[in-house]
Chain A
Amino acid sequence: MGYQWDFYFIWGYYNLFIEGVFISLGFCVVTIAIGLIIGLFCGLSLLSRHRLLSFPVRSYVEVFRCTPLLVQIIWIYYALPVIININIPAYLAGGMALTCYISSFYAEIFRGGVISIERGQWDAARALGMTYPQLMKRIILPQAIKRMVPPFMNQSVIQLKNTSLLSILAVGDILYQGSVITSATYRPLEVYTIVAIIYFVILYPLTILAQRLEARVATKE
């Protein structure tokens, strides 16, 4: 192949990439934080014996787990405003979709961690006379959270990669900046290689960190 690779020109656009990194990380951190709170609430509701509570939450979780995130982003940006007759800015629509998506996965991680605790632990806590909130806080959650760490880290790593889907709404994330640079330079091969490297450089240390954390948790068990 006679293609001449040339990465040098990209230095001229480094500020765009930096902006993209901040925007992607910003979306990632904020949607994870809000998603965690919603996920916690949803996870608790899924565990509830009251079907009035668990059924709507189960529906919410399944809708967002079982449809593609890209479709959710497009739907919230284009279709939802038609229904509720309010314009939703791109960053908000994208943020909402990312938040709902990850919260539905967190809800399942949370529920799974809680139900993985042996029945004997529930029995022992109840036999001591603990109320449900007491036994959750003192006995079940401290043990369950350890088991939730690996899937939680895994899902959060995926979330940063998923912010790339926001580029469809021209939000200014890493991938969108790449497409801007491509249309200016007509050098997609180099640009998307760099885009991939940027994601990798951010996420690889995080996965190492996650492994360390897992190992520490495992030795304490």
Chain B
Amino acid sequence: MPLKNKIMIKIADLYKSFGSLEVLKGISLEISRGEVVVIIGPSGSGKSTLLRCINLLEEPNSGQIQVGDKVITFGVTHKRVPSDKELAAFRANAGMIFQQFNLFPHMTVLQNVMEGPVTVKRMPRAEAETLALELLNKVGLAEKTNVYPYNLSGGQGQRVAIARALAMSPAVMLFDEVTSALDPELVGEVLGVMENLAKEGMTMVVVTHEIAFAHEIADQVLFIDDGVIMEKGPPSEVLENPSNPRLSTFLTRFHGFIEQFQNAESKKTGI
């Protein structure tokens, strides 16, 4: 049995620019197995780019990324561009959930969830179907298996997306502002699923504006601004007693987040 504190994600000195715009300016970070890390920060601060770099949807300019047992290095000393197959294998290791769900519209809910195991892992269809049904049951959508994505509500769509990512049995799960596109009354059902995942010991990196949720779920909160990690620590420190003035300013926009937190609680018990 691997130790609880085994490192699942390790990022060293990560830089990323888009053209002349430097978005990430030297990010280093370690995340242990089962840890839930919430990344907050103003828009344009680089938090989504950081998440996309962990899954190599964006190719960093330099730095090293380790997810699970796979390590990949970018930069001047590593001119060689990783091959399509290497990138694919690396990405299969991390599940990613997007703001816009990005379900495959030409496939049913069941087919969406089966797609990864069948196409990428070459799992036999029957086995993949059993797995998919189990996961859909877990996210509370067992009755929607043969529905197409356009017939789902936002909250249901996002839960299917979570099931689809889980079907690959990823080492870590990355959540990129997954509730930002949802109607307020649908946010709770998605957060509920995420909370259950966290309780089961899934290693998670969550970019969110739901400060109350961050407070409740996070083991570690990172505040990113202007491409660097400004502040990190347990939520009780970072969110309740921010020492960094920019973080304090940022948090005042979410003034009364404790009340928000209580709202989220009541929403969840409501499902």
Binding site for B on A (CB under 8 A): 118, 120-121, 123-132, 134, 138-139, 142-143, 221
- Shortest distance from the beta carbon of A196 to any chain B beta carbon, whole Å: 41
Cβ-defined partner of B88 (8 Å) among A121, A124, A129, A138: A129
A124, B91: Cβ atoms closer than 8 Å? no
22 A-B contact pairs sorted by A residue (CB < 8 Å): A121-B104, A123-B98, A123-B102, A124-B96, A124-B164, A125-B104, A126-B57, A127-B96, A128-B91, A128-B92, A128-B115, A128-B120, A128-B168, A129-B89, A129-B92, A129-B120, A132-B84, A134-B119, A138-B115, A138-B119, A142-B106, A143-B106
Give the shortest distance, in Å, between B70 (CB) and chain A (any CB).
Answer: 11
Q: Which residues of B (72-94) have their CB < 8 Å from a CB of A?
A: 84-85, 87-94
Q: How far is the CA of A123 from the CA of B106 in the complex (A)?
A: 16
Q: Tell me the count of chain B residues lying within 8 A, CB to CB, of chain A.
A: 29
Assess whether B17 is interfacial by the CB under 8 Å rule.
no
B27 to chain A, nearest CB (A): 20
B102 touching A128 by the CB < 8 A rule? Answer: no
Nearest CB of chain B from residue A92's CB, rounded to whole Å? 39
CB B90 to nearest CB in A, in angstroms, measures 8
> Among A123, A125, A134, A143, which residue has its beta carbon within 8 angstroms of that of B105?
A143
List residues of chain B with CB under 8 Å of any chain A CB.
Answer: 55, 57, 84-85, 87-96, 98, 100, 102-106, 115-116, 119-120, 161, 164-165, 168
Chain B residues near A139 (CB, 8 Å)? 104
Are B57 and A123 in contact, with the CB atoms below 8 A? Answer: yes
- Smallest distance from the beta carbon of A146 to chain B beta carbons, Å? 8
Q: How far is the CA of A143 from the CA of B104 in the complex (A)?
A: 9
Q: Are A124 and B119 in contact (CB under 8 A)?
A: no
Q: Which residues of B contact A126 (CB under 8 A)?
A: 55, 57, 87-88, 91
Q: Is the CB of B116 within 8 A of A128?
A: yes
Q: Is the CB of B84 within 8 A of A127?
A: no
Note all chain A residues with C-beta closer than 8 A to B91. 126-129
Give the chain A neighbours of B103 by CB distance below 8 A: 124
Task: Tell me, in angstroms, the Cα distance from A125 to B91 when the chains sit together.
Answer: 10
Give me the 5 closest cross-chain CB pairs, A-B, nearest first. A129-B92, A124-B102, A120-B102, A127-B96, A128-B116
- Indicate the member of A118, A126, A134, A221 with the most B CB atoms within 10 Å: A126
CB distance from A133 to the nearest CB of B (A): 8
Contact among B88, B94, B100, B168 for A131, CB-based, below 8 A = B88
A130 touches B119 (CB 8 A): yes
**Residues on the A chain within 8 Å of B164, using CB:** 124, 128
Residues of A within 8 A of B165 (CB): 127-128
Which residues on A sit within 8 Å (CB–CB) of B116?
A: 128-129
A127 CB contacts on chain B under 8 angstroms: 55, 57, 91, 94-96, 98, 165
C-alpha gap A134/B98 in the complex (Å): 20
* Nearest CB on A from B13, distance (A): 24
A49 nearest CB neighbor, chain B only: B81
Name the distance in Å between B53's Cβ and chain A's nearest Cβ.
13
| New contact pairs (19) apart from A124-B102, A129-B168, CB-CB < 8 Å | A118-B102, A123-B98, A123-B102, A124-B98, A124-B103, A124-B104, A125-B104, A126-B88, A126-B91, A127-B94, A127-B96, A128-B91, A128-B168, A129-B116, A130-B88, A130-B119, A132-B84, A134-B119, A138-B115
